[in-house]
Amino acid sequence: MVTVSKQQIAEWIILDYLAKTHSLIEKISFYLKKYNTTFEEFETQIKSAPKEDFEKWDDYIEWKAFHNFYTSYLKQIEEVKNGNFQLAE
């Protein structure tokens, strides 16, 4: 039988989330460089544009997904760091 502590599991979970955020950072960086603006500024620009640009809207949808996953993973990392998780049997 192998014994694993809650702390070890927390560290594994955090490492998994960090790997996922690293991948997302690369994808988000692409859009930051492409549009030379933050996600929030780009979102405001695209929503207030007088004419719809389909390429920008496609990029916006993808960037928004990456942004949402990234912020979600950061929140989950903090929850795990604070011990706010349970182990299922």
Angle between helices 39-48 and 54-81 (to 10 degrees): 140
The whole model's pTM is what? Answer: 0.84
If you write DSSP's letter for every residue of 21-85 in order, what string do you get?
HHHHHHHHHHHHHHHTS-HHHHHHHHHH-SS--HHHHHHHHHHHHHHHHHHHHHHHHHHHHTT--
pLDDT of residue 43: 97
Instruction: Tell me the CA distances in angstroms from 40 to 45, 53, 81, 85, one per residue in order.
Output: 9, 17, 28, 31
pLDDT at position 2 over 90: no
Say which DSSP state 11 is in: H
Instruction: Give residue-wise pLDDT tens across range 10-58.
Output: 999 999 999 999 999 999 999 999 999 999 999 999 999 999 999 999 9
Q: Are 88 and 43 in contact (CB under 8 A)?
A: no
